[in-house]
Amino acid sequence: METATSSDFSAALAAVAGVEGWLTDAQARRLWDAARALPASAQVVEIGSYRGRSTVVLARAAEARVVAIDPHAGNDRGPQEIEGYASEAESDHEAFLANLERAGVSSRVRHVRRFSADAHAEVDGPIDLLYVDGAHRYRPARDDIREWGARVAPGGTMLIHDGFSSVGVTLATLRLLVPSRSFRYLGRTGSLIAYRRERAPLARNALRQLAELPWFARNLLLKLAIVTRLRRGEWPY
Ligand SMILES: C[S@@+](CC[C@H](N)C(=O)[O-])C[C@H]1O[C@@H](n2cnc3c(N)ncnc32)[C@H](O)[C@@H]1O
């Protein structure tokens, strides 16, 4: 017999079945488990919502309200969609609102329509669960991990999409998290990499993350093969 939690998760997956985005079922489960473990008083923040796929999963799992930060401005929209998507951005925004409504979570999500760097004043206090899936270029990814990561409460969780997959996110991770003593690497679900804010042994924490580099190399080769049309298939994430 299904437990209440697994049937709730199945319902959340069904709610996002038609929502475009980049989140596998296994990654949705990881978000779900992290959000589900939190009390109603917790703070959940998502950077990069797109059409609401991950937002809906977080909001259906969490008792707490979710702050979703996304400018819907047409930049860094998805793989190979860095600039020039202004007209699609408005449709993304409308689809985001409609998808939240359809999934019954509109009242549980506060959308901050700003770039993450300009959204700090919109979020008070420490963050218990931070999901980073905004701009994937090096600088904004680095700033999200550094500035928003600094706001994760001790014992809190930071989940980052496209880790050891996107070049920008991976370089930011190598710079900030591989040599970190304050974020313990917990592992990954596909490209969704997970950290807990707690003191971590430097060498072991670094080695665990560096051990993911062969998988990163494999993702780069796959992307190269897709871009050069040597291979068809889904962009790895
Ligand atoms: C890869 S998509 C997010 C996918 C989403 N999490 C899902 O589950 O489908 C990236 C999103 O980040 C947003 N974005 C781009 N730059 C941003 C920034 N500086 N701050 C916050 N969001 C940003 C884009 O508008 C886009 O919707």
User: Shortest CA distance to 129 belongs to which of 174, 69, 64, 199?
Assistant: 64
- End-to-end CA distance of the chain, in Å? 32
What residues line ligand 1, using a CB cutoff of 6 Å?
21-23, 47-50, 53-54, 69-72, 75-78, 92, 115-116, 133-135, 140
Model pLDDT, residue 81? 80
Q: What pTM was estimated for this model as a whole?
A: 0.95
Residue 36 has pLDDT above 60, yes or no: yes
Structure tokens at 201: 């042994």
Model pLDDT, residue 4? 53
Contact 196, 208 (CB under 8 A): no
Compute the distance between CA of residue 10 and CA of residue 15 in angstroms, rounded to an integer.
Answer: 9
| Partner residues linked to 127 by β-bridges | 152
Contact 55, 96 (CB under 8 A): yes
pLDDT tens digits for 59-103?
999 999 999 999 999 888 887 788 877 888 999 999 999 999 999
Q: How many helices (H) and strands (E) does the chain have?
A: 8, 7
CA of 31 to the centre of ligand 1 (A): 16
pLDDT tens digits for 140-179?
999 999 999 999 999 999 999 999 999 999 999 999 999 9
Q: Could you give the domains of the chain?
A: 4-227 (3.40.50.150)
pLDDT tens digits for 165-223?
999 999 999 999 999 999 999 999 999 999 999 999 999 999 999 999 999 999 999 99
pLDDT tens digits for 96-142?
999 999 999 999 999 999 999 999 999 999 999 999 999 999 999 99
Model pLDDT, residue 233? 83
Compute the distance between CA of residue 186 and CA of residue 156 in angstroms, rounded to an integer.
Answer: 12
CA of 1 to the centre of ligand 1 (A): 37
CA of 22 to the centre of ligand 1 (A): 10
Tokens 């905004």 sit at which residue? 134
